[in-house]
Structure 1
Amino acid sequence: MMNEENIISLIKEDQWMMNILKAAKSLNLPDWWICAGFVRSKIWDTLHHLSERTPLPDIDVIYFDPTNMDELVEKKLEEKLTSLIPNIPWSIKNEARMHIKSNMPPYSSSVDAISKFPETVTALGVKLDEKNNVILTAPCGIHDVVHLKVKPTPFFTVTEERVKIYKERMEKKDWQSTWSKLKVFHIHNSC
C-alpha cells in the first residue's frame, strides 16, 4: 500500500510537479503549500493506473500572512507565477483571510486551514524545503486518499450547513466519473 514516502517519491519523479513547486517556492511566501487536487489527483491517477495526468481545474497555492490580507496581493502573485509558467491555472490564496470568505473561525496557519478543507482526501499539501526536498502535510492522514475513500473532514461533520456543503461538493465534483474505484462516504468519525 502507498505510504507518505511513496507519495513524496511520485512527486519528486514528476518533473511537471517539481517545476510547479519550484515556481511557487520562488515567491518566498510565508507558510506556503500547494494543496488539494495537485496532490490528490496524482495519487488517484497512480492508483487507477492512468497513463495521462487528469487535468486540474486549478493549482491551489496557499500561504499564511496576517500582516497583509489584501486580495490584490494574491492576484499579483498569480501574475508572477503565470509569467514563470504560463498556461497553468494558478490560484493563490492567503489563508489568513480565507476564514472570512468561508464564514469560519480564523485559521492559525496554512496547515490549520488545510485540516479544515471539506474532504480528508483534499486535506493534503506539499512544498519544497530550503534544499528542494518535497515536504508533505496531511493533517487528516493519508489513509483515505490511498484507500480511495472520500470522507468529510471532522470539521465538515459538525454543523448541518457544513454537511450540506460537503454533499453539494460531492455531487458537483463527480470524482467517480474520473476515478471509478472511489468510494464516497457521507459519515466520518474522526481525522
Structure 2
Amino acid sequence: MDKTEQEIMKWIKEDEWMMNILQIVQKLDLPDWWISAGFVRSKIWDKVHQFSDRTPLPDIDVIYYDANNIEEEEEKQLEQRLKQHTHLPWSVKNQARMHTLSGFSPYTSAMDGITHFPETATALGVKLDGNGSLVLAAPWGLTDAVSLKVRPTHYYEKTNKRIIYENRVINKAWQKHWTRLEIVGIEEKLL
C-alpha cells in the first residue's frame, strides 16, 4: 500500500459518518459489494481543497455483483432497506446488469464495473471486508483523484462513448465547487 492509499484510508477511517455508512451497507451482506464513485472521490477532493465541511452527495452509490438476480426491482428493494437505517439518497446497482445500460460486454465483477466508470477520478470504491477492515479499490490508480484531474477512462477516451464523458463533466459542473480541478479534454466546452 502506497502513502497516498494509506492517507485516503486514514481519512475515511477517521470519518465517523463514512464508517457508519460502510457498516450499514456491510449488514446487507451483498455479494461483491462496494460503495463507489462520489462517496470516495468527494472525500478526496474535499480534503485536497482543505474544506472543513463535507460536500453533500447527490447520492450514495452502492454497487454489487450478483449474476443470479439481475432484476432492477431487487435494487429498489435494497434501496428501501437502506432507507430504513438512514434517509440518505441511496443508489444501488447490480453490476451484473449495468453493461446493458452502457453498451459494454458483460462485466465479470463489481470491480470490473468500477473499471468501466467514465472518469478515472470517479472509478473508486471502498468497502469493509469480512474482518471489518477497510478495502480501497482504484483500478485506474489514485493519481488523478488526488491531483484533481478529471479525465476519461480509456473506455470513454477515443470511442463513440466520449460524448458520455463530456456530457457528464459538463452537467456535473464539479469545477464550480472544487475550483482547483483540471478537466482534461473538454476545456473549450467548459468556457
Do the structures match in fold with TM over 0.5?
A: yes
Question: 2:189 maps to what in 1?
Answer: none
Q: Distance in 2 between matches of 1:56 and 1:123?
A: 16
Structure 2 residue 183 is the aligned partner of structure 1 residue 184 = yes
Question: 1:83 maps to what in 2?
Answer: 84
Q: Contact 1:124 / 1:139 at 8 angstroms: preserved in 2?
A: yes
Matched residue of 2:161: which SS? helix
Matched residue of 2:54: which SS? coil
Question: 2:168 maps to what in 1?
Answer: 169
Question: 1:115 maps to what in 2?
Answer: 115
Q: Distance in 2 between matches of 1:178 and 1:169?
A: 15
Question: 1:28 maps to what in 2?
Answer: 29
Question: 1:124 maps to what in 2?
Answer: 124
> Match of 2:179, as an amino acid?
S
Q: Contact 1:2 / 1:146 at 8 angstroms: preserved in 2?
A: no
Question: 1:65 maps to what in 2?
Answer: 66
Uncovered stretches (5+) of structure 2, i.e. residues with no partner: 187-191
Q: Distance in 1 between matches of 2:95 and 2:127?
A: 16
Aligned length: 185
Q: Distance in 1 between matches of 2:129 and 2:66?
A: 18
Q: Distance in 2 between matches of 1:83 and 1:172?
A: 31
Alignment of 1:32-47 (within 5 A): 32-47=33-48
Offset from partner CA, 1:104-139 (integer Å, 9 cap, x none): 211111111101100000000000012211100000
Uncovered stretches (5+) of structure 1, i.e. residues with no partner: none
1:158 shift after superposition: 3.8
4+ aligned runs moved over 3 Å, structure 1: none
Question: 2:6 maps to what in 1?
Answer: 5
Question: 1:102 maps to what in 2?
Answer: 102
Q: Distance in 2 between matches of 1:152 and 1:2?
A: 24
Q: Distance in 2 between matches of 1:127 and 1:116?
A: 18
1:66 shift after superposition: 0.3
1:2 shift after superposition: 6.3
Offset from partner CA, 1:20-69 (integer Å, 9 cap, x none): 00011000000000000000000000010111110100000000000000
Q: Distance in 2 between matches of 1:104 and 1:128?
A: 28
Matched residue of 1:3: which SS? helix
